[in-house]
Amino acid sequence: MQHLPYSKNDFGTSPLMFYYETTLACDLACKHCRASAQEKPAGDELATEQALQLIEQVASFPRKPNICFTGGDPLKRNDIFQLIQHAVSQNLTVALTPSATPLATRQAFEQAKDAGVQALGISLDAPTGAVHDAFRGFDGSFRKTCEMLGFAQDLKIPVQINTSITRRNFHLLDAMADFLGSEDFAGTIMMWSVFFLIPVGRGLEEQRITPPEYEVAFEKLWHYAKEKPFAVKTTEAPHYRRFVLRLGSNPLDVPRPFKFAKGDRENPETFSRARHRAPLGVTDGRGIMFVSHRGEIYPAGFLPITCGQFPKDSVVDVYQQHPVFKALQNPDNYKGNCRRCEYRFVCGGSRSRAFALTGDYLESEPDCCYQPGQDPLYAGL
């Protein structure tokens, strides 16, 4: 049976991406770690039986989400391959984000593949060992990450590279794109996910780039998406979609990718036609859901507003009914520029960054320099 792609009609009933933070344990100590990971597992992380039950609940959404087992380091969980197998048996598409530690062996990757993992998320913050290792707080992390990419290549497991952009590596974007696009990784790196810092966990506010620098980064990403052998998406920077959509009327030096009709811009599907993978208007709580190692339910990993507690609460009920999720799912609830913005249905700004910097998850995206109403097609909307 052929399934229709996830659409804006699914926002109110099912997430597109479900992130399960399987454990806080990780042997690294990265400077910008969302989870503020620790060496040993927390005593209250979900036990195997509860984790299996959580997976079944995820599979019971009207439209099955993709599930990502994250952490900490998911390989620190002894039952991780059992969890993967169970998710696959429930017809879920599974991704895994192993950390670059000695646990990430070829054998572990083989086991993950045998269990049914369909993609790996691997973190890489710079194209050189000196910068990447300083980021990660661990000498040899870059070498280990390259080794992991080699395992994935041998085993033909598609990889998404996750890069956190901060002041430390902003100037390295071009070098990073060239590195990832090299022949060495041909056919393995399918996606580059560029994460724009949220100052939570160990992510420090002074490491944020400025709003104009976001625009510089967006233009670079747009070019990479056309020229490099991998797709590009942003994480916690949905205004990249606004940047791409505005090329329709303001093409800069970029060939016009497609023509917009009036009324097209609030249609999230338009973005997908632009051949970029950051889909629809997915953002925190609107197509995204996150469950912590101890079962707390959040709209996103970077938006620490507890909306429920698994197993006491059903993740399906929370996604469909909790007032915070409901508020996030309607961009007309956003405030300031994001409320007035003609791109709110495809962008909406990072709700996590708004919360981290203002304490209000509905406030305007603090790191967007677009002034609503600049688009002549939408004057007065």
Q: Report the interface residues with ligand SF4, using CB under 6 A.
A: 239, 242, 337-338, 341, 343-344, 347-349, 364-365, 368, 370, 372
Smallest separation, CB 358 to ligand SF4 (Å): 13
Smallest separation, CB 352 to ligand SF4 (Å): 12
Name the residue nearer to ligand SF4 (CB basis): 287 or 348: 348
**CB closest to ligand SF4, residue no:** 341
Smallest separation, CB 340 to ligand SF4 (Å): 8
**Alpha helices in the chain, H assignment, sequence order:** 48-59, 80-89, 106-115, 129-136, 141-155, 173-180, 211-227, 239-246, 269-273, 315-321, 323-329, 336-340, 351-358
Name the residue nearer to ligand SF4 (CB basis): 11 or 185: 11
Smallest separation, CB 196 to ligand SF4 (Å): 11
Tell me the HSE value of 248 on the side-chain side, using a 13 A CA sphere. Answer: 19
Smallest separation, CB 242 to ligand SF4 (Å): 4
DSSP codes joined into one string, 137-204: TSTTHHHHHHHHHHHHHHHT--EEEEEEE-TTTGGGHHHHHHHHTSGGGTTTEEEEEEEEP-SSTT--
CA distances, 54 to each of 61, 80, 83, 111, 315 (Å): 12, 14, 10, 22, 8
Name the residue nearer to ligand SF4 (CB basis): 109 or 240: 240
Smallest separation, CB 241 to ligand SF4 (Å): 8
Query: Residue 160: beta bridge partners?
Result: 121, 191
Name the residue nearer to ligand SF4 (CB basis): 136 or 233: 233
From CA 127, how far away is CA 112, in angstroms rounded? Answer: 26
Smallest separation, CB 224 to ligand SF4 (Å): 21
Name the residue nearer to ligand SF4 (CB basis): 245 or 318: 245
From CA 29, how far away is CA 38, in angstroms rounded? Answer: 8
Name the residue nearer to ligand SF4 (CB basis): 207 or 364: 364
Q: Is residue 76 helix, strand or coil?
A: helix
Name the residue nearer to ligand SF4 (CB basis): 233 or 239: 239
Smallest separation, CB 211 to ligand SF4 (Å): 9
Name the residue nearer to ligand SF4 (CB basis): 234 or 364: 364
From CA 59, how far away is CA 90, in angstroms rounded? Answer: 6
Q: At CA 230, angle to CA 219 and CA 37, rounded to 5?
A: 85
